[in-house]
Amino acid sequence: MKNTEEAFKWIVGLLQENKIPFQLSGGFAAKMHGSDRPLYDIDIEIPDSYFDNLRPLVKNYIVYGPQRYLDETFDLLLMTLKFEEQKIDISGCENDKLYNYITNQWESCETNLNNAVRKEFYSLTIPVIKWQDLVEYKKKIRRPTDLEDIKAILQKNS
């Protein structure tokens, strides 16, 4: 059985201890901003240049990457970890692209980590993508879970 709290505390502690800038994003951030759908993974963004610092610290938990990941929605630097059966996706935030299903074009989705808000979860205060930025991003990629998150986030924060 996955232990989300332990995985969260482990990866956040590791990032903070090693002074690796980050923010929570994706479904975990949506949960922190008001979505109540089941959590699939923990999504974290870090600057691309920090992957070399992080890789030796998590080498025993890597199940993918770090390498370029490309599918119909994303083109990004990605490393996937599994800790306590919880999947953790760590993506770069400097050279990423997403497919905007509104304009039907690929576009840059570079993230400025300085725009994150501080929120408390599992007794830790961490940087999280602002709900407005998360909604804007999820509107573009338009997967069913994203549309569900948008509705919940807007109901909670508008």
**What angle (nearest 5°) sits at the alpha carbon of residue 28, between those of residues 23 and 32?**
90
Query: Can you read off the two tokens belonging to residue 31?
Result: 């949960």
Strand partners, 119: 126
pTM of the model: 0.93
| pLDDT tens digits, 133-150 | 999 989 999 998 998 989
Count other Cβ atoms within 10 Å, centred on residue 140: 17
* Domain spans in the chain, listed from the N-terminal domain onward: 4-148
Note if the bond before 38 is cis, omega within 30 degrees.
no
The answer to whether domain 4-148 has CATH 3.30.460.40 is: yes
- What band does 61 get if pLDDT is binned at 50, 70 and 90? very high
| 115 contacts 70 by C-beta, under 8 angstroms | no
**85-to-2, 18, 46, 67, 88 alpha-carbon distances in Å:** 4, 23, 22, 22, 10
- What band does 1 get if pLDDT is binned at 50, 70 and 90? low
User: Which residue bears the tokens 């999820």?
Assistant: 138
69 SS3 class? strand
| pLDDT tens digits, 65-92 | 999 999 999 999 999 999 999 999 999 9
